[in-house]
Chain A
């Protein structure tokens, strides 16, 4: 897999911590591989929205990558509940169902961005940098930016 310049947390130079939520283990593993290629660290995983809420409370990740169509509780509702409890939560919806009303609903209920599957690593990388804003920094070869 292509390697990207690591994105670190600005405040302490540590790897960005991710919570990956998808009912497909295969999709979770693929996303985990991608975020690791961005220099990130997998803080937790969940296979449904309900578990995502408890995992968020347990791990306090920097970014959540959240699928939409899942059993028990769908991703948009889970995102809304997480943001209600943690207004600073950065949630990126990652779904194959990318029609406009779904995207708008997700953004209105607290998600920061939307990435359509199949996920292109270069697209996810740019979205993560955008969502982190000043809280993220791209490390240079010399270690600048961390």
Chain B
């Protein structure tokens, strides 16, 4: 996983959180994980297929999700399971959509699948060629985790090479 593929996701998360929460964010921790993903709170997962394949997970605890939702809505919202899930999915949608936009402009082509909730405590294990990058965005209203496990699509890569691209 190259940094030029990862960087748009970091930039996008920073921009979406900063705009939605009207605050600045900081990356609190950053690590590579080869172990199976362990959910921290409420996790929304988006799969990508195309030139680069894999999944991105946005994960935050329920209290933070309610605060994020209230801030984005401009009104205090009561906590509910559906609000918490929706917030995680919408954050994932916006962060990943904006990153994909930037990557597409660099010549990568993808299909973005709708977010799904990642419900199990322990989830999909990264393989040796898709180790996951996990980072924590610290905001004044709580932490938002992003877990990225992507790899180049070898077949597409080979097809492009044989076509002389």
Binding site for B on A (CB under 8 A): 1, 23-27, 29-30, 33, 69-71, 95-102, 116-118, 120
Contact = CB atoms under 8 A, between A and B. Distances in A.
A116 B98 contact: yes
A30 B20 CA distance: 12
A33 B89 contact: no
Interface stretch (B28-36, B80-88, B121-129, B140-148): B80-88
5 contacts: A69-B112, A97-B100, A99-B101, A99-B105, A100-B105
Nearest to A29: B73
Contacts of B61: none
A117 B97 contact: yes
Given A30-B73, A100-B105, A24 B98 contact: no
Given A26-B90, A69-B112, A96 B82 contact: no
Contacts of A26: 69, 83, 86-87, 89-90
B96 interface: yes
A69 B101 contact: no
A102 to B, nearest CB: 8
B104 interface: yes
A117 B95 CA distance: 9
Contacts of A96: 93-98, 101
